[in-house]
């Protein structure tokens, strides 16, 4: 299909004889119009109708499920099969049964993800803290609404919230639930939308209700005084940092450090972990600890197993004799997710607009929402009572003459005229007359009518009270505070997460103890590395190498040193000597390119050993330039494994050596010329990839071949090879100097 210049929309395609005209043709379309017409509606749908919770604390999928269960009468009575609930929910939620059942599982008591679950479950619903513990199919499990849902649906039939049509316009569903407590903060809620996300931690119900009530009474209430920190279903230990908590309460963003809880079983010499952070799982922790044991970083551990059962979560770590359990746990807190950070992002839809709110702002929005619910409920009750009062006043008129009413009915020839004649006979309106006309014959006695009329005074008092509530915002707030107090008393439970105060930094940090002993380090021309102890080397010093390979470098150092491997791609890979296993001379060793995960076709060309990053590197390039860089330029505070732009890429590297102080070096060109250079003539540069300065001039087709320290006394007349000006060509070796065996020494 063709398109006119400037058109944004694709013309409609015609179907001709079963074939779509233009099918398969590529049509030019502006990327901006594609994003606006296709991607933006999808993004808005995910944000508004799927991933971000609203002020009642629910996403649409949660709300549809719970409302379906409410309409099924599952707030009371017995449980029903989960499959029945899933099937009924599909009338509101146009998704597959699997997605709906997954939603129900996450709201259930059995799954243990929420402080106050909304679904009372029976059967295997899996566990929130286990990645591999799958829940049973919906045909095997049963469920009903938990009693706390009474507070979610209280007065929902009194016009407290708006209702809209479902997706096929056959039913009505609420846009929000009139929760009588701030459910948005009581249970954990996580969602990932397009371009934004939400991650709300849970808080203790009693503390939330008390804080909300205090905020209603005093808008300047200090939130942290009644809501000290979040509370997680798994318990755990929150490392209390008031500054971080206040930041979260103010901005709605921040992190909370949560630790696992454990006990030491002295009898069996093991650690029992029975509470973990909400952001991890048993399997992740166990796999990481096993990995640490394999790496030799947790040698105190003899065995680890998952003993989670009917009594709840339990991870058991068997210890080796003499292990300090508290010290080991500090190490595991540092190296595993037994201590993890819960990232808060209080992103909530307010009036259809996603907003990141602090706790105080969020509670203020909920209070405003709840005030509207109470006002709408009050207005609904007021209208109902006014209607009833109106009817009773009509009945009161009949009390004056019951016989007259009977006579009017009896003497009316047509049924359609009864209401009209009663209206004329007693001076009442049509609604009152209709009500009177429907009174049963058995109720046409003074006793019944007097009982009904006695309610008039009560109704008038109630109507007056309801009107007073609508006229006073303070009365509405008092009702909310009273309801919050009732909810806290009825459903509140003790805090599960323990707060740890004044945790010192030294306790938080862990430095792995590396055994220090002498080692011999070998690096071969083909890139193989060996770490051999002196004892092993004395027993067998004959090195095993691949055909054509040779030992390029040999260092005597200790196990606590660090290694720097310069590669042919101007990069440096850093490693610790302790990361390599002790080996023997009779093995090939470890291939460094694979061990350090170097890039394709990247190979190490030189290795250096250091403990203090003192001294300097001297780089020689084939174009005759020399650069001098301090070794501490390669030091990093963080444990970085790879440094880019480790040396200049303007010319190919000939050689690199390490020197502790400025000294004389011998440079050799491919043409056989030699130049003695004192490194003091080369300025030191802190920039690693400096090009250096021109030192040795090269004839056409020649290049700098090597650079090494000059041993004093090597040449008979060393002044022949020295120069006062740079760059210099250097000089050919004399017969006397060319016979010096030291030239063959690397």
What is the set of active-site residues? Answer: 140
46: its two tokens? 């995910």
122: its two tokens? 């029976």
Question: What is the H or E stretch that residue 629 is in?
Answer: strand 625-630
d(CA 616, CA 437): 109
Class of residue 41 by CB neighbours under 10 A (exposed 0-12, middle 13-18, buried 19+): exposed
146: its two tokens? 């938990």
d(CA 419, CA 436): 8
Q: Which residues contact 527 (CB under 8 A, 6 or more apart)?
A: 591, 592, 593, 603, 604
Say if residues 364 and 215 touch (Cβ distance below 8 Å).
yes
d(CA 369, CA 375): 10
DSSP β-bridge partners for residue 341: 257
Say if residues 68 and 89 touch (Cβ distance below 8 Å).
yes
691: its two tokens? 């090009």
Largest CA distance in the chain: 152
By three-state DSSP, how is residue 465 classified? helix
By three-state DSSP, how is residue 98 classified? helix
d(CA 656, CA 627): 9
Block residue for tokens 């174009």:
623
d(CA 348, CA 351): 10
Question: What is the H or E stretch that residue 315 is in?
Answer: strand 315-319
* Closest of 42, 18, 19, 23 to residue 10, by C-alpha: 23
Radius of gyration of the chain measured on its C-alpha atoms: 41
By three-state DSSP, how is residue 627 classified? strand
389: its two tokens? 């009062």
For residue 323, cis peptide bond before it (omega within 30 degrees of 0): no
User: Could you give the residue ranges of the DSSP H alpha helices within 540-582?
Assistant: none
By three-state DSSP, how is residue 192 classified? strand
Block residue for tokens 């190919």:
652
Dihedrals phi, psi of 567, to nearest 5 degrees:
-115, 175
Q: Which residues contact 41 (CB under 8 A, 6 or more apart)?
A: none
> Cβ–Cβ contacts within 10 Å for residue 49, how many?
12
Question: What is the H or E stretch that residue 31 is in?
Answer: helix 31-34
d(CA 696, CA 651): 14
Question: What is the H or E stretch that residue 122 is in?
Answer: strand 119-122
């Amino acid at each position: 299909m063709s398109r006119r210049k400037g058109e944004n929309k694709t013309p409609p395609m015609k179907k001709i004889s079963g074939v779509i005209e233009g099918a398969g043709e590529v049509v030019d379309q502006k990327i901006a119009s594609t994003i606006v017409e296709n991607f933006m509606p999808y993004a808005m749908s995910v944000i508004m109708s799927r991933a971000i919770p609203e002020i009642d604390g629910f996403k649409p999928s949660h709300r549809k499920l719970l409302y379906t269960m409410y309409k099924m009468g599952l707030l009371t009575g017995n449980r029903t099969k989960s499959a029945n609930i899933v099937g009924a929910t599909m009338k509101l939620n146009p998704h597959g049964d699997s997605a709906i059942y997954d939603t129900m599982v996450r709201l259930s008591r059995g799954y243990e993800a929420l402080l106050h679950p909304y679904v009372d479950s029976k059967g295997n619903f899996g566990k929130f803290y286990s990645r591999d513990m799958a829940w049973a199919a919906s045909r095997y499990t049963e469920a009903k609404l938990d009693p706390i849902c009474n507070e979610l649906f209280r007065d929902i039939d009194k016009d407290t919230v708006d209702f809209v049509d479902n997706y096929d316009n056959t039913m009505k569903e609420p846009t929000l639930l009139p929760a009588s407590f701030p459910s948005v903060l009581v249970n954990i809620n996580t969602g990932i939308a397009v371009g934004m996300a939400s991650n709300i931690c849970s808080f203790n119900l009693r503390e939330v209700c008390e804080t909300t009530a205090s905020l209603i009474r005093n808008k300047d209430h200090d939130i942290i005084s009644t809501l000290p920190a979040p509370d997680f279903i798994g318990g755990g230990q929150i490392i209390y940092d008031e500054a971080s908590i206040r930041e979260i309460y103010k901005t709605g963003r921040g992190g909370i450090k949560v630790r696992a809880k454990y006990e030491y079983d002295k009898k069996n010499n093991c650690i029992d972990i029975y509470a973990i952070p909400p952001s991890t799982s048993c399997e992740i922790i166990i796999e990481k600890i096993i990995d640490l044991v394999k790496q030799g970083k947790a040698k105190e551990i003899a065995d680890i197993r998952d003993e989670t059962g009917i009594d709840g979560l339990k991870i058991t770590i068997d210890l080796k004799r003499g292990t300090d359990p508290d010290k080991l746990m500090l190490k595991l807190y540092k190296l595993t997710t037994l201590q993890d950070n819960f990232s808060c992002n209080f992103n909530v839809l307010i009036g259809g607009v996603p907003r990141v709110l602090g706790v105080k702002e969020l509670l203020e929005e909920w209070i405003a929402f709840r005030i509207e619910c109470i006002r709408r409920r009050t207005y609904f009750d007021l209208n109902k009572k006014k209607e009833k009062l109106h009817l009773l006043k009509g009945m009161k008129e009949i009390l004056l003459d019951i016989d007259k009413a009977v006579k009017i009915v009896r003497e009316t020839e047509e049924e359609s005229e009864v209401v009209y004649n009663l209206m004329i006979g007693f001076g009442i309106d049509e609604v009152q007359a209709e009500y009177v006309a429907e009174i049963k014959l058995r109720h046409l006695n003074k006793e019944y009518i007097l009982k009904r009329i006695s309610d008039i005074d009560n109704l008038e008092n109630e109507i007056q009270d309801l009107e007073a509530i609508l006229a006073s915002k303070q009365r509405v707030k008092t009702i909310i505070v009273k309801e919050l107090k009732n909810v806290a008393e009825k459903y509140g439970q003790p805090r599960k997460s323990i707060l740890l105060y004044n945790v010192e930094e030294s306790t938080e940090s862990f430095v792995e103890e590396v055994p220090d002993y002498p080692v011999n380090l070998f690096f071969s021309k083909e890139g193989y590395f060996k770490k051999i102890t002196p004892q092993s080397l004395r027993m067998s010093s004959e090195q095993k190498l691949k055909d054509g390979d040779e030992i390029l470098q040999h260092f005597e150092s200790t196990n606590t040193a660090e290694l720097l491997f310069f590669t042919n791609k101007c990069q440096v890979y850093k490693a610790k000597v302790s990361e390599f296993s002790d080996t023997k001379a009779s093995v090939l060793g470890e291939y460094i390119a694979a061990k350090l995960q170097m890039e394709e076709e990247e190979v190490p060309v030189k290795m250096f050993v250091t403990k203090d990053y003192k001294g300097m590197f001297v780089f020689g390039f084939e174009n005759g330039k020399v650069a001098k860089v301090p070794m501490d330029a390669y030091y990093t505070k963080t444990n970085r494994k790879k440094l880019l732009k480790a040396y200049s890429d303007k010319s190919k590297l000939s050689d690199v050596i390490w020197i502790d102080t400025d000294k004389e070096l011998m440079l050799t060109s491919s043409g056989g010329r030699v130049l003695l250079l004192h490194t003091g003539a080369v300025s030191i540069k802190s920039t690693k990839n400096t090009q250096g300065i021109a030192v040795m001039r090269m004839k056409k087709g020649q290049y700098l071949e090597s650079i090494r320290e000059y041993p004093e006394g090597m040449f008979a007349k060393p002044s022949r090879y020295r120069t006062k000006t740079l760059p210099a060509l250097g000089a050919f070796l004399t017969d006397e100097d060319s016979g010096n065996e030291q030239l063959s020494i690397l």
